[in-house]
Structure formats: C-alpha cells, structure tokens
C-alpha cells in the first residue's frame, strides 16, 4: 500500500502549484490550498490510468485522508486487460471534461 500512496503523491505533486507538500494524513478537502479540487481530480485520473484502477467518485472521498483513500483503493480490483482500452478512453474523456470545466471557470473569472 505504501508504494501506491507514493505513486498517488507523485501525481498530486505534479499538479500542485504550491511549494507546500500534500500531507497524506490530513483530510483531502482541507488541503485544497496546496492544490485546488480540479488539480486533485486531474491527478486522480492520471493516477487511475497509471495504476489501472477505477476509483468511485463520492464527495466522501474528500473527507478522507489520502492514506485512507489509498487503503480503500488497494482493495479494488485492477482493470482487466480486456477492459483496458475502454477504461483508458473513459479516463481520457474525463480529463477532457475537467479541462473544459477549468476553461469555463477561467472564462467566468476573466470575463
């Protein structure tokens, strides 16, 4: 599980614009000053694609610490080889949706 946690942290740090470190033992939603929710979502999708796991999305995920979330993730089955193309297509579409949300958010901010 520790390796999975370090992998996830690597993806989070890749998205973070802050010099602060993401603390795996603090609730995720308390750390959106280290990186915002959109960046966390992008890091999560990239991590899913790397680890070949499909993490169910619930608001409660943000109430967990990253360590607790990774513990739950470690119990999930990996995507089967037969489902990998469909899984990757789904995740790429999810990244695209997040990018569109970010663009819309920026358009609202800058008019």
Entry pTM: 0.89
pLDDT band at 111 (very low <50, low <70, confident <90, very high): low
Q: How many CA atoms lie within 13 A of 81 on its CB side?
A: 0
What digits encode the pLDDT tens for the residues 34-89?
A: 888 999 999 999 999 999 999 988 767 899 999 999 999 999 999 999 999 999 99
Helix orientation angle between 84-110 and 37-51, rounded to the nearest 10 degrees? 170
Q: Are 74 and 4 in contact (CB under 8 A)?
A: yes
What digits encode the pLDDT tens for the residues 22-32?
A: 999 999 999 99
SS3 of residue 32 by DSSP: coil
Q: Give backbone dihedrals phi and psi of 14, rounded to 5 degrees, phi first.
A: -70, -25
Nearest partner of 57 among 33, 35, 28, judged by Cα: 28
Paired tokens of 81: 């080889």
Q: Are 16 and 22 in contact (CB under 8 A)?
A: yes
In total, the chain counts a number of residues equal to: 111
Paired tokens of 88: 């990757």
């Amino acid at each position: 599980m520790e390796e999975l946690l370090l992998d996830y942290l690597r993806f989070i740090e890749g998205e973070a614009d802050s010099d602060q470190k993401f603390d795996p033992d603090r609730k995720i939603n308390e750390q959106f000053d280290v990186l915002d929710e959109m960046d966390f979502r992008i890091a999560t999708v990239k991590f899913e694609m790397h680890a070949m796991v499909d993490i169910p999305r619930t608001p409660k995920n943000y109430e967990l610490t990253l360590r607790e979330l990774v513990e739950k993730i470690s119990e999930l089955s990996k995507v089967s080889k037969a489902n990998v193309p469909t899984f990757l297509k789904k995740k790429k579409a999810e990244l695209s949706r997040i990018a569109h949300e970010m663009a819309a958010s920026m358009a609202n901010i800058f008019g």
